[in-house]
Chains A and B, each alone.
Chain A
Amino acid sequence: MKKLFPLALLVTLVVAVQMITGWTDTRFYLTQLTMSAYYALLIIGLCLVMGYAGQLSLGHAGFFAIGGYVSAALTTRNLEGIKDTVLIRLFDALGLLAAGQDIYGDSLLVVTPWAACLAAVLCAGVIAWVLGIPVLKLKGHYLAMATLGFGIIVYRLVLASEVFGEADGISDVPSFPLVPGLTVSGDFGAREENYYIAWGLLIIGLVLLRNLVDSRVGRALRSIHGSEDAAEANGVDTARFKLKAFVISAVFAAVAGVFLTHYNGGIGPSEAGVMKSVRYVAIVAVGGMAHLWGAMVMGIVLNFLSLRGVFGSYDDAVFGFILIVIMLFAPRGILSWNWRGYAAILLRRGGGQESLREKTDGLA
């Protein structure tokens, strides 16, 4: 029962906030809270791979973008021109397509949002799998650079491709009817509905990950972070587990991308940018590398503030600043910051984590 308490508290809070915004006529906050929830979904996935499995990913915005862009492109790009080809007729037979009219009144043939969503998430998962196999063999700086490189390639790709809208991105992304009665869209009238969809998704993701972390698999991941050699010696197939964590986190990011794109009605190349990836890493670092709840809370808070424009033109600078401060003073995250101990450390000049020169330095 102790385990359910934080969850129950969260659900209560979510409902309470929504009702309060209704009473105080501040329902516009719901929009940013909804968006923050989707970003937080990506964040907790990243927390799994960075904090628990210990693998740095500086390119996670790339997966978010893959999810969002693939879904957006499939639901907006007109297949009318090729609708007589075998492939398209097959898709039609499978019920994957939807016909309609574009803004000029011409007939429009696109993929249904559900099919597009599944395709986008699958795409991200497969790319994560294929990329992960060589990338996760790397460590330290090499891993950082490889993931950074991945993110940049995605960014350059969407920026240069006509099908992805180049610098303008993709707009007119239709709404996403999940089930009869629940639709992901940016309509003002549907604000509460979408708020609950987003938070519902986030809470489901949180529960799944929390279960995972507390299990045999979660322990295996943490052991990889602790000592890859010892983990291997105890039978943990480190390569496979790292890959699984990586793919899961990519899927979380892609789902967030898909939903947020349908909510916003569009997506732009900045979502794939390096600054976004860095931002996500900063948030995970602040929230506590191996702290799902901390990462989620920070994900909500910091994204909400950023979306409300509180940081103004210093938006990116703030996250850069946060990164430095946290890494200098509280590398395990804000919640694990040893307030009292810090004074002692400052005076004693002690306390280090895993040494850069590992344990061989100084040992016989």
Chain B
Amino acid sequence: MTAELFVQYLFAGITYGAIYAIVAIGFNIIYNATGIINFAQGEFVMLGGMISISLLPMMPLWLAITTAVMLTMVFGAFLEICFIRWLENPSVLRMIIITIGLSILTREAALHVWGESIRSLPYFIGDEVMTVALFGARISPQVLWVIGACGLMVIGLNIFFQTTSVGREMRACAANRRAALLCGINTHNMVTLSFMLSAGIGALAGCVMSPITSTQYDIGTGLAIKGFTVAILGGLGNAMAAVGAGLLLGILEAFSVSVVPLAFKDAIAIAILLLILFFRPHGLFGSRTAAGLKEF
């Protein structure tokens, strides 16, 4: 493997890894606030891409993306308010099935609205053949957009959670819901906010990745599974570890192309998922005792 090829693979891995990390962070935000794994997380990514593509004929690119992200956030809030908010103490099984159902309905709705066609946003700068030289390889500038956008989102989320009062309230809610309630924090709104936040970052990721990966009504499921794998890999609930885990998975996948047939590339993520679940369900960075004590 030449140095150039190595760098190509590396960047491909980092690009996809960044996307997986964002999906995983989305999972973690909702999980931390509610204890629920939102199986519909992947659909947020899909919607971001699809909506922005549909809006593009009517407005400049940056506006289409912004609007798509905001519409997806509204959608996330809608899901929470309609289907999750008013459930009293639902069991884990029930929640899993409900979010799976939501995922399916969203996907089917997308199928009927946008059909089966594969679409994509145009490259933000230049076109699909434009490259920049980086570390000896030729990389599409869109890759930089993806990495940059995801990186900014991670930093932004960090700032949000650590410094703003709303962010602190959400963290309180995640740590101990009852205590947060007693402190006067409106936990219901925090939950809605967590959905909106997850939807927003997912949508943005969907927009920036669209020129590279294209968008189709059913990309949600695959992304959700990989995002979940990354979330577990980093330790469920640990948003920052998800970044590392995401990059790890992305790079593993990218380099696997050189050893296994392409058709099995997707199976790599699942194999990793199963291995992790069987041997280290608390993740690479989690602690076994802490995970054992943590409620579901």
A contact residues vs B (CB 8 Å cutoff): 54, 56, 58, 134-135, 138-142, 144-146, 148-150, 152-153, 156-157, 159-160, 274-275, 278, 281-282, 285, 313-314, 316-317, 319-324, 327-328, 331, 349-358, 360-362
Contacts and interface: CB of A to CB of B under 8 A. Distances in A.
A274 B101 contact: no
A324 B99 CA distance: 8
B270 interface: yes
Nearest to A157: B267
B160 interface: no
A321 B89 contact: no
B273 interface: yes
Given A153-B271, A319-B104, A362-B178, A138 B88 contact: no
A145 B98 contact: no
A152 B263 CA distance: 13
B225 interface: yes
B187 interface: no
B277 to A, nearest CB: 5
A152 B112 CA distance: 24
Interface residues of B, number: 46
A351 B295 contact: no
A144 B96 contact: yes
A356 B35 contact: yes
Contact of B295 (A157, A282, A327, A357): A357
A347 to B, nearest CB: 13
Contacts of A317: 104-105, 108-109
Contacts of B225: 145, 148-149, 152
A139 B296 contact: yes
Interface in B5-60: 35-37
A148 B42 CA distance: 15
**Residue among B83, B93, B178, B295 with the most chain A CB within 10 A?**
B93
Interface in B247-284: 261, 263-264, 266-267, 270-271, 273-274, 277-278, 281
26 contacts: A138-B281, A141-B96, A142-B281, A145-B37, A146-B277, A146-B278, A149-B225, A149-B277, A153-B274, A275-B104, A320-B103, A322-B101, A327-B94, A328-B98, A331-B91, A349-B88, A350-B88, A352-B89, A353-B89, A353-B91, A355-B91, A356-B35, A356-B36, A356-B95, A357-B295, A361-B295
B144 interface: no
Interface of B: 35-37, 83, 86-98, 100-105, 108-109, 112, 177-178, 221, 225, 228, 232, 261, 263-264, 266-267, 270-271, 273-274, 277-278, 281, 295-296
Given A316-B108, A328-B87, A361-B178, A156 B264 contact: yes
A141 B90 contact: no
Nearest to A56: B93
Contacts of A328: 83, 87, 98
Contacts of B267: 152-153, 156-157
B105 A355 contact: no
Contacts of A160: 261, 263-264
A356 B228 contact: no
Nearest to B272: A149
A148 B228 CA distance: 12
Given A278-B100, A317-B104, A356 B89 contact: yes
Nearest to A156: B267
B273 A320 contact: no
Nearest to B84: A328
